């Protein structure tokens, strides 16, 4: 007589449920990041001498000219490219783009042409985030008022104070690396200062602090007090606050909408999504 199949234990069922939830959250995060990054790329491509639009990030980025167009807008440089559109020519153009990034000392960890041609979601999202971090967040952080950008004592100590001296290359690279690591902190400090006078707004990170929409509204009010009545926002739902913030930012401040309020409210991991949006608010200065 055949034995009946063993039923999973309670612990195994819980483990499987957790795994399923984790996969679901990852898929949700990936989809939201994809939409946000697609909107950001299109806002940049609109400024190219030959404006274009992408509809599917993972598919359209395989066309090497998309990356080259994006980097030309961000860098203000004209990059070498192959004008063809077959697979071989797309690979060449992607390699041109990655080489350009490497020549600017941008670390591309485990990012290869094959990953982009294959449409690897995590690699492509990582690449776009790296581009945003370098060309927007770091550069913007350097333009914020100097009180955000004071170097640490360690930074000062590695550079000789003599005006005629040249610090060793390794020490210079350490200073640069430290600045790159702190650029996100600089932007967070800026956001915290904009929101400091609003008692109901507490910005501690680029994750949960932004889910109720209050931080976005506070920043808009700090920039343009005439656009928002902060007394009324306390009585609205999180979704309504997000909708109002994105609507005003897009209509009045001409800040591109990088994600929908529902995406921001639902998403469990918001860092990479909110950072580009917060950069746009800081750029308004």
- pLDDT, residue 123, reads 92
Q: In which band, very low, low, confident or very high, does the pLDDT at 135 lie, cut at 50, 70 and 90? A: confident
Q: What pLDDT does 5 receive?
A: 58
Mean pLDDT within 222-230: 90
Instruction: Choose between 265 and 216: higher pLDDT.
Output: 216
Q: Over the chain, what is the mean pLDDT?
A: 76
Weakest mean pLDDT among 159-168, 181-190, 219-228? 159-168
Kindly indicate the confidence band of residue 260, based on its pLDDT and cuts at 50, 70 and 90. Answer: confident
**What average pLDDT does this structure show over 240-264?**
82
How many Å apart are CA 65 and CA 94, to the nearest integer? 8
- Half-sphere exposure of residue 67: CA atoms within 13 angstroms, side-chain side: 31
pLDDT digits (tens, 9 = 90+) for 77-125: 999 999 888 889 999 999 999 999 999 988 888 899 999 999 999 999 9
Burial class (CB in 10 A: 0-12, 13-18, 19+), 219: buried
Check pLDDT > 90 for residue 48: yes
Specify the fold of 17-144.
Actin-binding Protein, T-fimbrin; domain 1 (1.10.418)
Give the pLDDT of residue 142: 67
pLDDT value at residue 128: 93
What is the domain class of 183-284 according to CATH? mainly alpha
The arithmetic mean of pLDDT across residues 46-68, rounded, is 93
pLDDT at res. 120: 93
Q: pTM of the prediction?
A: 0.64
Contact, 64 vs 94, CB < 8 A? yes
How far apart (Å, rounded) are the C-alpha atoms in residues 220 and 229? 11
Helices (H), the chain: 10-45, 57-60, 64-75, 87-103, 113-117, 121-132, 139-143, 153-157, 169-195, 214-223, 230-233, 238-252, 261-266, 271-283
Model pLDDT, residue 30: 82
pLDDT band, very low/low/confident/very high, at 27 (cuts 50, 70, 90): low
**Percentage of the chain with pLDDT > 70?**
66
* 190 or 169, greater pLDDT: 190
Tell me phi and psi for residue 144, to 5 degrees.
-70, 160
- What is the rounded end-to-end Cα distance, in angstroms, of the chain? 78
Share of the chain above pLDDT 90, in %: 32
Q: 143: buried, middle or exposed (CB in 10 Å: 19+, 13-18, 0-12)?
A: exposed
pLDDT digits (tens, 9 = 90+) for 63-80: 899 999 999 999 999 999
Sequence ranges of the domains in the chain: 17-144, 183-284
Q: Which residues contact 132 (CB under 8 A, 6 or more apart)?
A: 37, 40, 275, 276, 279
Q: State phi, psi for 6 to the nearest 5 degrees.
A: -75, 135
Question: Fold identical between 17-144 and 183-284?
Answer: yes
Question: Is residue 192 within 8 Å of 201, Cβ to Cβ?
Answer: no
- Choose between 240 and 151: higher pLDDT: 240
pLDDT confidence bin for 166, thresholds 50/70/90:
very low
Higher pLDDT, 111 or 11: 111
């Amino acid at each position: 007589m055949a034995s009946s199949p063993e039923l999973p234990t309670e612990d195994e069922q819980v483990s499987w449920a957790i795994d399923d939830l984790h996969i679901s959250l990852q898929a949700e995060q990936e989809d939201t990041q994809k939409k946000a990054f697609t909107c950001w790329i299109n806002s940049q491509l609109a400024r190219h001498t030959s404006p274009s639009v992408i509809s599917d990030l993972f598919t359209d980025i395989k066309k090497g000219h998309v990356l080259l167009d994006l980097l030309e807008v961000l860098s203000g440089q004209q990059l070498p490219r192959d004008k063809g559109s077959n697979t071989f020519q797309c690979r060449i153009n992607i390699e041109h783009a990655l080489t350009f990034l490497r020549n600017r000392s941008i670390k591309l960890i485990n990012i290869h042409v094959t990953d982009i041609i294959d449409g690897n979601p995590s690699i492509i999202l990582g690449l776009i985030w790296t581009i945003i971090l370098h060309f927007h967040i770091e550069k913007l952080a350097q333009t914020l008022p100097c009180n955000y950008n004071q170097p640490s004592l360690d930074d000062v100590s590695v550079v000789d104070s003599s005006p005629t001296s040249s610090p060793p290359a390794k020490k210079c690279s350490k200073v640069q690396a430290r600045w790159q690591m702190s650029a996100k902190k600089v932007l967070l400090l800026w956001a915290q200062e904009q929101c400091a006078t609003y008692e109901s707004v507490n910005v501690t990170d680029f994750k949960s602090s932004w889910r109720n929409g209050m931080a976005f509204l506070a920043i808009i009010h700090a920039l343009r007090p005439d656009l928002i009545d902060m007394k009324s926002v306390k009585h609205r739902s999180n979704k309504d606050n997000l909708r109002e913030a994105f609507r005003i930012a897009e209509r009045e401040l001409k800040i591109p909408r990088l994600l929908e309020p529902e995406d921001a409210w639902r998403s469990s991991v918001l860092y990479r999504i909110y950072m580009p949006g917060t950069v746009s608010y800081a750029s308004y200065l």
